[in-house]
Structure 1
Amino acid sequence: MSYPKPILISELQTALSDPSWDSVVIIAPQFDAELPDNIQTVIQQQAKFDQRIGNSVVTIVTQEIAPKRLVLAPTGQLTRYFDDVRRYFDAAKLAAVEVIKMGSVKPLLVVLSDKSETYKNATTVSYLGFSQALWQPLEAREYHGESIEPVQTIGLVGGNIDVNLAAAIESGKYVARDLCGTEPERMAPPQFAQYCVDSFANSNVKVSVVDDMAVIERDYPLMWAVARASVEVERHQPRVIRLEYIPEGEITKTLMLVGKGIVYDTGGADLKTGGHMAGMSRDKGGAAAVAGFMKSVAELAPKGVKVVAELAAVRNSIGAEAFVSDEIITGHSGVRVRIGNTDAEGRLAMADLLSRFKDEALTEVNPILFTVATLTGHAARAVGPYTALVENGVAYKMGLGENMVKQGDLIGDPCETSRSRREDYDFVQPRTKADDLLSSNNGPSAVTARGHQFPMAFLALVAGLEQHDVNSTQPMPYIHIDIAGSGVENGDWQHGKPTAAPVAALLSSFL
């Protein structure tokens, strides 16, 4: 397992004379300034007969520089109010495709950025975009060999870059893409757990795995309901994976993240039909992103911040033991949940983990709780390719979501906030005295009003977090993060590359 390591290059002219670099990639809004004279001359000569210069990616072979290959990747306009640093990310992705086609394995990335605050991370984001394009699925690497990812080093020339931070983000995103993007047998729950064990071996993150079915049935009853039909198949049996980083010295803040790891979602007894099951091996994207975030934490080893994550790795199978709508199941918190739809299984898989974290948080220092999930089609409909954030009252009052939006924009991992409202809490109230809470309605979330907001209310209620909101003597900030719209490229859940959202946004916002 490898990702291209960034190397900071302080002097461009020297690097242009170094034949160990085998291509030079320039990412910029335009190519008529800030470049050495020899490159300027090459570009000007090419532009005389090539109108693509400045409009699309162009490759030039020249003897004027030692690497011989020159790739020009324009960002397009940067000055409109809706432009953002993803212009660099996208340009770098396109350039990476050309670099691979040319056979380059050690590119030098030169980023000429706008000097405004919006683009201060342009070099880091360009590196992340370049790396996104280079990643190949785990199964492909295992079949073809690691040589299908030939680029192991990327030189970076640009301003305002911390290569250690950039490497840590990409290391985490690599893990997240692997876990999310791998097919359901290769990354069934036991395999998901083993990948985590291997990824954090000899690191500062402690890994523990609950693999005793009796313990899961007892301690995670709502997750167990989702898993029931899969338990008879040993290779599909569920796992709870705990990842824990404890810094040296004083702890000033504690981050507690729950990840939805539905390794395959058939919909359960409310079976997905009409072709909607394809791509459901990526329903583990939330847990994958949390594991990736923890990998970045392991690389950075931040001081003062304790980070704990628990991942619910489970398969929502169909069969004689499948749970069904109308069942009433008592969760870890003691709340009796009536099942509204078995295809709304992700919130059930996370509920008991969040409840247990709420109990742990009572003795932690300044805890912030998160759930991260590919939860609802409504999030994809409502905010498109952006990560949806739904906060409880404490997080909203602290401005945590808005800060995540700001930081996500700057690092090319954008988010949008959605308010939690009284209607969301009303939506999941019980209809009889036989139960305490309704898990969902029985229609698709994408056509349900407030379809990505009300699940946060369910999770807060089922975990007992409503007792720790703004009027509590021990308030706990909680953010529900829905990546159903942002988790894969172009919304293609079967074939699109995982994006590893919101790894970069979380790092920038909370570390």
Structure 2
Amino acid sequence: MAVEEVFYKLYNNILIETNLQNTNYDAVVLIAYPEDLNVQLPRHIGSFLEKAAKVDKHITKAVTVWNCDYVSGGRLVISPTGKVTPYHDVSVVKQAAQKGVLRALEAGAKSPLVVVQSVVHFPDAQLVAVLGVLEALYTPLQMRERVAPKNFTKIGFHAEETLDEKFERIVRNAIALERARIITRDIGGSDPERMAPGKIVEYINNSFSGENNITVKVVDDENVIAEQYPLLAAVNRAATRVDRHKARVVEIEYKPSDLSRVIETLILVGKGVTYDTGGADIKIQGKMAGMARDKCGAAAVAGFLKACSILKPPHLKVIGVLCLCRNSVGSDSYVADELLVSSSGKTVRVTNTDAEGRLAMADALFKMSETAGKELNPHIYTIATLTGHARACYGNYVAAMDNHSARATNHSNKLQLSGSRVSEGVEVSVVRHEDLAINEGKCKGDDLVQYDTGAKARNHQLAAGFLIKVGGLEEKNLKYTHLDIAGAAGEAPSEPSAVPVLSLCHLHKVFM
């Protein structure tokens, strides 16, 4: 059984409940919206809220717990969104759902019932609320492997007093998406030994075992990697002496049962640096802590494929590539000034071994650009915790960058809209001519520099420019989007955010 399967299953430990007084639950969690949103309250609770507000006006600002005879368990948890302005998005719903269910558990509840109402202002509020609750209940993999999760017995979701097929579909979609995000968090958040390259391969094989619409191919022979993925091999050179740290390239492919219905092929390449010491340009001043999260791009690719395997979108074919390596430091480290030859034949001068992510993905991206030419309506993504500059520019939002072909379809703007619907923030960043030109070689014999150390600005855009050039995408009429999730992937002590799995699923209609 795959490790994530111990989690949520509809009608087992996740239920849809129409009766707020059902004695099978020991608390009810209500997301409280501002009056101006005109969200209809469940029967009896409206009058109770009016009385509670007279006792404590703070109920519109903080989570509170009340003794209430009108609800299951006699315990009502009121979790307010707070004031919702035109600058807020559906994240206020997610946060209220998370705070509410966590407060219920802190109060001693084991089987809370969460009221999930439709909100005209936020079309996907119910989905986001359910996902918020499930995310709050996530237990990290390494904790689950020691002790079975015991933070809850079951969770109920209440939308209205009658069963509704639409709401059941929302809950089913949320469970599928959360199972996908569990894979993303497990890979991205586990420590660098639990999720060393070889361990990630084991986890992937277990997670997709028995899926008849998924095939997994693993390249682990270091001679093959050196020949076909030479830039990845250079990054991993100091780690190859330790078997569990050796590089792996994992290809996961999803095909629907009827290929004649496919209208789009998605190709996703993910950065999977399981630990980044910085290599010979070693990280200092404590900046190495947290570098186990440098594999969140590859983790997101795996999560997206898992969502496809469960929800089975008939219109998509998907190829995911996980570029797994470890940027270790040692006597065999790759160093600045080395001239590497990529699989595309372009020479790349190493300038900073801590800019390893673009090298780790470069050869796989070139290979996929060649593959894409044979596929129907292809769109290529790279997903990576790539630059501190993206975090500096956009905080905890994804930086989305299109090449010329993707920009012609307004792609990143569409992704931004999808992100806003499912509580994943995306900022659109434009790749310009100078972002490509700055990567051109400076010395005779150099086609490209890994990174222009003299660059004072636009570091996340020039990284995208490097990938476009090294991937052979500069002149090809192939749609390509680079997603820098360095600020959005989540930093300890928070769990990984699993971005941009939901945004991609929403945009490409993996769930309906």
Q: Normalised by the shorter chain, which TM-score bucket?
A: over 0.9
Alpha-carbon deviation of 1:426? 1.4
Contact 1:265 1:283 in 2 (8 A): yes
Question: Retained in 1: the 8 A contact 2:369–2:473?
Answer: yes
Q: 1:125 aligns with which of 113, 125, 128?
A: 128
> Is 1:3–1:174's contact at 8 Å kept on the other side of the alignment?
no
What does residue 472 of structure 1 align with?
A: none
Is 1:211 aligned with 2:209? no
Aligned counterpart for 1:375 among listed residues 386, 389, 392: 386
- C-alpha distance 288-152 of structure 1, shift in aligned 2 (>3 A): farther
SS of the equivalent of 1:267 reads coil
Query: Aligned pair 1:303/2:314, yes or no?
Result: yes
* Matched-pair contact (CA < 8 Å) for 1:259–1:290: yes
CA distance in 2, matches of 1:66, 1:449: 57
In structure 2, the partner of 1:109 is 114
Q: 1:70 aligns with which of 67, 76, 80?
A: 76
Equivalence for 1:471 = none
- Residue in 2 that maps onto 1:238: 247
Name the residue aligned to 1:142: 145
Shift of 1:10: 7.2
Is 1:182 aligned to residue 199 of structure 2?
no
Q: Which moved more, 1:156-165 or 1:274-283?
A: 156-165
Q: What's the counterpart of residue 18 of structure 1?
A: 22
Which residue is 1:496 aligned to? 494
Provide Cα deviations, 1:337-364, integer angstroms capped at 9, x if missing partner: 1111100000100001111101111110
The structural deviation recorded for 1:375 is 0.3
**Contact in 1 for aligned 2:347/2:446 (Cα 8 Å):** yes
Q: Deviations over 1:292-348 (max 9, x none)?
A: 111111111000210010001110000011000111111111111111110000010
Which residue in 1 is equivalent to 2:264? 253
Q: Say which SS state the counterpart of residue 466 (structure 1) adopts.
A: coil
Is this contact kept in 1: 2:114–2:155, CA < 8 A? no
2:422 and 2:394 map into 1 onto residues whose CA distance is 18
Q: Following the alignment from structure 1 to structure 2, what is the Cα–Cα distance between the partners of residues 5 and 22?
A: 20
Letter in 1 for 2:486: A
Specify the SS of the correspondent of 2:44. helix
* Residues 290 and 152 (structure 1), Cα distance of their counterparts in 2 relative to 1, 3 Å cut: farther
* Offset at residue 480 of structure 1 (A): 0.3
Deviations 1:390-417 (A, max 9, x none): 1100000011111000111011112011
Deviation at 1:49, TM superposition (A): 1.9
How far apart, in 2, do the equivalents of 1:503 and 1:356 lie? 23
Contact kept in structure 2, 1:211 and 1:240, CA below 8 Å: yes
> Which range is displaced more, 15-24 or 411-420?
15-24
Taking the aligned partners of 1:386 and 1:275, their CA distance within structure 2 comes to 24
Equivalent in the alignment of 2:45: 39
Shifted more, 151-160 versus 127-136: the winner is 151-160
What SS does structure 2 have at the residue aligned with 1:256? strand
Aligned match of 2:505: 507
Q: Which residue of 2 aligns with 1:50?
A: 56
Question: Per-residue CA shift, 1:347-389, capped at 9, x if unaligned?
Answer: 1000011111011111100000000000000000111111000
The whole-number CA distance in structure 2 between the counterparts of 1:28 and 1:65 is 15
Partner residue, 2:349: 338
CA distance change for structure 1 residues 433 and 85 in 2, over 3 Å: closer, same or farther? Answer: same
TM, length-normalised to structure 2:
0.92
Distance 1:428 1:292 in 2: 32
CA distance in 1, matches of 2:10, 2:89: 23
Mapping 1:356-367, distance limit 5 Å = 356-367=367-378
The letter of the residue matching 2:412 is G
CA–CA distance in 2 between the matches of 1:505 and 1:181? 20
* 1:210 Cα offset (Å): 1.2
Over aligned residues, Cα RMSD in angstroms?
1.9
Identical amino acids, percent of aligned pairs: 39
Where structure 2 has 5 or more consecutive residues not aligned to the other structure, the ranges are none
Q: Which amino acid aligns with 1:157?
A: A
Matched, 1:324 2:335: yes
Q: Which has the larger displacement, 458-467 or 252-261? A: 458-467
Helix, strand or coil: the match of 2:292?
helix
Q: Quote the residue 2:324 is aligned against.
A: 313
The alignment status of 1:462 with 2:473, answered yes or no, reads no
Deviation of 1:435 (Å): 1.3
Q: Post-superposition shift, 1:64?
A: 2.5
Trace 1:381-460 onto structure 2 (pairs within 5 A): 381-442=392-453, 448-460=456-468
Change (3 A) 1:135 1:335: same
- Residues 19-51 of structure 1: per-residue CA shift (max 9 Å, x gap): 122221111314796234432343333333222
- The normalised TM-score by structure 1 is 0.92
Residues 1:194 and 1:74: Cα distance change in structure 2 (over 3 Å): same
1:282 equivalent to 2:286? Answer no
Separation (CA, whole Å) in 1 of partners of 2:322 and 2:382: 10
Write the distance in 1 (CA, Å) between the matches of 2:182 and 2:465: 32
Deviations 1:152-174 (A, max 9, x none): 54424279642232222211111
Q: Deviation at 1:129?
A: 1.6
| Cα distance, 1:38–1:181 mapped onto 2, change above 3 Å | same
* 2:238 counterpart of 1:224: no
Shift of 1:243: 0.7
**Counterparts of 2:190 and 2:159 in 1: how far apart (Å)?**
33
After TM superposition, what 4+ stretches of structure 1 lie above 3 angstroms from structure 2? 2-12, 30-33, 151-154, 158-161
Instruction: Tell me the CA shift for residue 148 of structure 1.
Output: 4.0
Q: Per-residue CA shift, 1:251-271, capped at 9, x if unaligned?
A: 211000000000000000000
Rounded Cα–Cα distance in structure 2 between residues aligned with 1:10 and 1:172? 21
Please say if residues 16 and 157 of structure 2, whose CA atoms lie closer than 8 Å, have aligned partners that are also in contact. Answer: no
Q: Distance in 2 between matches of 1:189 and 1:152?
A: 35
Q: Counterpart in 1 of 2:483? A: 481
Query: Which deviates more, 274-283 or 21-30?
Result: 21-30
1:423-446: CA deviation from partner (whole Å, max 9, x where unpaired): 101110111221111111337xxx
CA shift, 1:272, in A, is: 0.3
Distance 1:135 1:448 in 2: 40
